[in-house]
Amino acid sequence: MNRTLSSPSPEAFGTDPWKTRIDRTFARALVLPLVLAIGLLVLLLGDTLYRSVSVQVVRADEGPGRTYPFGLAATEVLRQELLARGYTEEEARSLLQDPTERRVLFLQNRVELMWNTQEGPFRYVVTGLRDERVADFSLLEGLRRWEELKAGLGEGERLVLNPWLDQSFLTRTPSRSPLTAGIGVAIWGTIWVLSLALLIAIPVGIGTAILLEEYLREGTLNRILEVNLRNLAGVPSIVYGLLGLAIFVREMGLGPTILSAALTLGLLGIPVIVVTARESLRAVPESLRQAAFALGATRRQVVFRVVVPAALPGMVTGVILSAARLIGEAAPLLLVGAAAYVPFYPTGPLSEYTVIPVQIYLWVSMNIPEFARVAAAGILVMLLVLSGLYFLALYLRNRFRREW
């Protein structure tokens, strides 16, 4: 074959159909991973949503398995349920008026709104701690066999279309029964742990970023800090858990408490915040620093009156995204006490606690189909919180975007 260039003829500039085809195929193939990744996301979300709704037949421990019309107050529903269980008017009223009794009653009996029941759509049921599940079907199968199931209902049994993620799921405490398990304690645990962790990670992270970007752009200390941060960022999060277990839980004697968890998570968050804060400091043009210096500002005045205010929107966005990252961390907290069964709301930094992702892990690893539904509901809660934070960050990023 002649590989030297011949003198140009029109044919020499013709297209090579084979190569053109390779080119086009190659470009298309590159989009494949994106399609797969988005497909996975859709499947994940779809599966979670689908699993979080089910058709159930439940046998009430006491009472007739009645349902109550939409719009009634929770107390009224519970009063009617008590009457249906055979209490007298008098007894029901005294139970509901005594604050302690009332609290216990509401802990043991959950008023929940069902999307559909054997007595019609959107009605309340009262779920007791010892209610027993007879059958649990996925949405489509349950709907297909709805009439058949309705006909086969026994004494004290009810047929419901149960949306596992409902209002009362957000406030309930963990439970051994999937029917009454809720994520309330974990939500408050996450709020406590995250706020305290940010209290540590934000000053340290942003302070380090300022030191590296505004005071020590080169030199030995800069090198040491940078190398150290890069390696810290690569340490698996579970190793931070071991650190927390050895130092905070045992050495400092804090025990498996919110404080231990917050310290652990705070350290984990520092490298992430440093990276985002440095990016936003670097985005502030050098000319602003020069202008401030030329006006006779000291280093501190330049940094805190000009550079940091200019970088603030970026820093806030970075902190929100780091917070979102920390909310989803389960592994390190498993080691510092989050895996415990905690039926009480946290009251302070030294309370026992659990957090949302750990609660989800515990439910998933129960390996019981209905706990998988509870886990799905928990995942939806967590993803909702995360997407809220994500869009807040996106909004801030666009709202305060500056053209220098």
Partner 1 sequence: MEILKQRPSRNPKEVLTFALLVFLSSITLLTTLGVILSLVGDVAQFFRRVPLTEFLFAPEWTPLFADPRYGISPLIAGTFLVTLIALLVAVPLGLALAIYLSEYASGAARARIKGTLELFEGIPTVVFGYFALLFVTPLLQRVIPDLNIFNPLSAGLVMGFAIIPYISNVAADAMESVPRSIREAAYALGARPYEVALRVVFPAAISGIIAAIILATSRAIGETMIVAIAAGQRPILTLDPRETIATMTSYIVQAATGDQPTGSTGFYALFAVGFTLFLLTLFLNILAQYVVERYRERYE
Partner 2 sequence: MVSLEMLKEHETVRTAPVSEAEALVDVRGLSLWYGKKQALYDISVRFPRNQVTAIIGPSGCGKSTLLRSLNRMNDLVPGVRVEGEVLYEGVNIYDPRVDPVAVRRHIGMVFQKPNPFPKTIFENVAFGLRLMGVKGSELEDRVVEALKRAALWNEVQDRFKKESGLRLSGGQQQRLCIARAIAVEPPLLLMDEPTSALDPIATQAIEDLIQELKTRYTVVIVTHNMQQAARVSDRTLFMHLGVLVEEGPTEVLFTKPKHPYTEAYITGRFG
Judged by the rule CB under 8 A, the positions of this chain that interact with partner 2 are 217-218, 285, 287-288, 290-298, 301, 305-306, 309-310, 402-403
Residue 291: contacted member of partner 1, partner 2, none (CB under 5 to 8 Å, by partner type): partner 2
> Which of 72, 386 has the CB closer to partner 1?
386
**Pair 270, 208: CB distance under 8 Å:** yes
When the beta carbons of 84 and 297 are compared against partner 1, the nearer one is 297
> What would the x/- binding string for partner 1 be over residues 303 to 332, using CB under 8 A?
-x----------------x--xx-xxxxx-
User: What sections of 156-285 are H helices per DSSP?
Assistant: 167-171, 184-210, 220-234, 237-243, 258-282
Contact of residue 273 among partner 1, partner 2, none (CB under 5-8 Å per partner type): none
Contact 57, 72 (CB under 8 A): no
CB of 275 to partner 2, least distance (A): 23
Site membership for partner 1, residue 366 (CB under 8 A): no
- CB-facing half-sphere around the CA of 381: CA atoms within 13 A: 28
Which of partner 1, partner 2, none interacts with 309 (beta carbon under 5 to 8 A by kind)? partner 2
Q: Residue 130 or 305: which CB sits closer to partner 2?
A: 305
3-class DSSP assignment, residue 98 = coil
Smallest distance, Å, CB 241 to partner 2? Answer: 41
Closest distance between partner 2 and the C-beta of residue 310, in Å? 5
Name which of partner 2, partner 1, none residue 36 binds, using a CB cut-off of 5 to 8 Å depending on partner kind: partner 1
Binding partner at 27 among partner 2, partner 1, none, C-beta below 5 to 8 Å by kind: partner 1
* Cβ atoms 240, 332 nearer than 8 A: yes
- Measured CA to CA, the distance from residue 241 to residue 268 in angstroms comes to 9
- Please state, as a whole number, how many other Cβ atoms lie within 10 Å of the Cβ of residue 257: 22
Pairing relation of β-strands 53-59 and 132-138? antiparallel
**Two tokens, residue 2:** 């002649």
Residue 42 interacting with partner 1 (CB under 8 A) = no
Which residues in the 89-148 window bind partner 1 by CB under 8 A?
none
162: enclosing H helix or E strand: strand 157-163
335 touching partner 1, by CB under 8 A: yes
Q: How many residues bind partner 1 (CB under 8 A)?
A: 87
Query: Least separation, in Å, of the C-beta of 224 and partner 2?
Result: 18
250 binds, among partner 2, partner 1, none (CB under 5 to 8 A by kind): partner 1
Decide: is 235 part of the binding site for partner 1 (CB under 8 A): yes
Could you give the C-alpha distances from 376 to 114, 363, 384, in angstroms and in order?
A: 17, 9, 12
Instruction: State the binding partner of 347 from partner 1, partner 2, none, CB within 5 to 8 A by kind.
Output: none
Query: With binding defined as CB under 8 A, does residue 258 bind partner 1?
Result: no
Give the separation between CA 259 and CA 248, rounded to whole angstroms.
Answer: 8
- Closest approach of Cβ 232 to partner 2, in Å? 27
Query: Per CB under 8 A, which of residues 156..185 are in contact with partner 1?
Result: none
We find the least distance from the C-beta atom of residue 98 to partner 1, in angstroms, to be: 39
Q: Using CA atoms, how far apart are residues 380 and 53, in angstroms rounded to an integer?
A: 12
Alpha-carbon Rg for the chain, nearest whole angstrom, is: 29
Per CB under 8 A, which of residues 197..226 are in contact with partner 1? 203-204, 207-208, 210-212, 215, 221, 224-225
User: Taking Cα atoms as reference points, which of 296, 289, 291 lies closest to residue 311?
Assistant: 289
336: exposed, middle or buried (C-beta count within 10 Å: 0-12, 13-18, 19+)? buried
Strand order in the sheet with 157-163: 68-69, 120-128, 109-117, 157-163, 53-59, 132-138
Residue 219, classed as helix, strand or coil, is coil
Residue 108's SS3 state is: helix
33, interface contact from partner 1, partner 2, none, CB < 5-8 Å by kind: partner 1
